[in-house]
């Protein structure tokens, strides 16, 4: 299958696989922090979301810049870091939206925001990281 792809498609596929692996780790770390704060400690889910964001930003930048998008785009600069922060804020805003919509507004329970945090937010961040941050 890979041999039928052109070099650009193989590069994209490799980045996607590396992003899925490192992103899964960062997402699991963030969801773990959220779950401990919101489900175990029973503190407000938005606090769990914020603490998960803080931990995931540093871990995510390191993993994505050094591994997921290694060799993609130009040299990492201050601008790269600033764009990564913007994408991280977008990610945080999306997850805050899931908490507000599913927990606060629809009252579906503390665990309800976890599925979109695991699937929708990472899809958005991969696209933004590949097309804008690590270009």
According to the model, what pLDDT value does residue 1 have? 63
Percentage of the chain with pLDDT > 70? Answer: 95
Instruction: Write out the chain in H/E/C secondary structure.
Output: CHHHCCHHHHHHHHHHHHHHHHHHHHHHHHHHHHHHHHHHCCCCHHHHHHHHHHHHHHHHHHHHHHHHCCCCCCCCCHHHHHHHHHHHHHHHHHHHHHHHHHHHHCCCCCCCCHHHHHHHHHHHHHHHHHHHHCC
89-103: pLDDT as tens digits: 999 999 999 999 999
According to the model, what pLDDT value does residue 73 have? 60
According to the model, what pLDDT value does residue 76 have? 67
Average pLDDT over residues 38-57: 93
50-80: pLDDT as tens digits: 999 999 888 988 888 788 777 766 566 888 8
Q: What is the pTM of this model?
A: 0.74
CA pair distance 59, 115, nearest whole angstrom: 21
């Amino acid at each position: 299958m890979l041999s039928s792809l052109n070099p650009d498609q193989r590069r994209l596929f490799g980045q996607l696989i590396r992003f899925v692996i490192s992103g899964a780790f960062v997402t699991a770390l963030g969801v773990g922090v959220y779950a401990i704060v919101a489900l175990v400690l029973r503190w407000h889910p938005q606090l769990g979301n914020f603490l998960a964001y803080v931990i995931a930003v540093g871990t995510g930048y390191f993993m994505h810049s050094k591994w997921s998008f290694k060799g993609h785009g130009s040299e990492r600069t201050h601008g790269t870091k600033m764009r990564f922060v913007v994408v991280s804020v977008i990610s945080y805003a999306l997850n805050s939206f899931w908490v507000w919509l599913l927990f606060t507004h629809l009252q579906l329970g503390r665990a309800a925001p976890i599925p979109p945090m695991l699937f929708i937010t990472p899809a958005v961040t991969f696209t933004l990281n590949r097309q804008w941050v690590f270009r």
